[in-house]
Amino acid sequence: MVKEEIKNNKKYFICEECKLRYKEKRWAEKCQEWCKKYNSCNIEITKHAIK
C-alpha cells in the first residue's frame, strides 16, 4: 500500500520505498511496485513525481 498524505488540502500518494510523492495513486503504486522489485527507480515512472 502506498502512503497517503494531505497537504494544503491536496492529497498526495507516496511511494514508501523511495519516498517520492505523486498526485495520482496509480503512479505511486507503480513506483512502489517497481522499487520493491528492482530496488531502483524507473525514470518513466519517476517523471510523474512531484518535486
Please name every residue paired with 5 in a beta bridge, in sequence order, or none if there are none.
Answer: 12
Count of chain residues binding Zn ion (CB under 5 A): 5
Is residue 17 within the footprint of Zn ion (CB under 5 A)? yes
> Which of 2, 14, 15, 49 is in the footprint of Zn ion by CB under 5 A?
15
Question: In what helix (H) or strand (E) does residue 22 lie, and over which residues does it extend?
Answer: strand 21-22
Is residue 16 within the footprint of Zn ion (CB under 5 A)? no
In angstroms, the CA 44 to CA 6 distance is 25
Minimum gap (Å) between residue 42 Cβ and Zn ion: 8
List residues near Zn ion by CB under 5 A. 15, 17-18, 31, 35
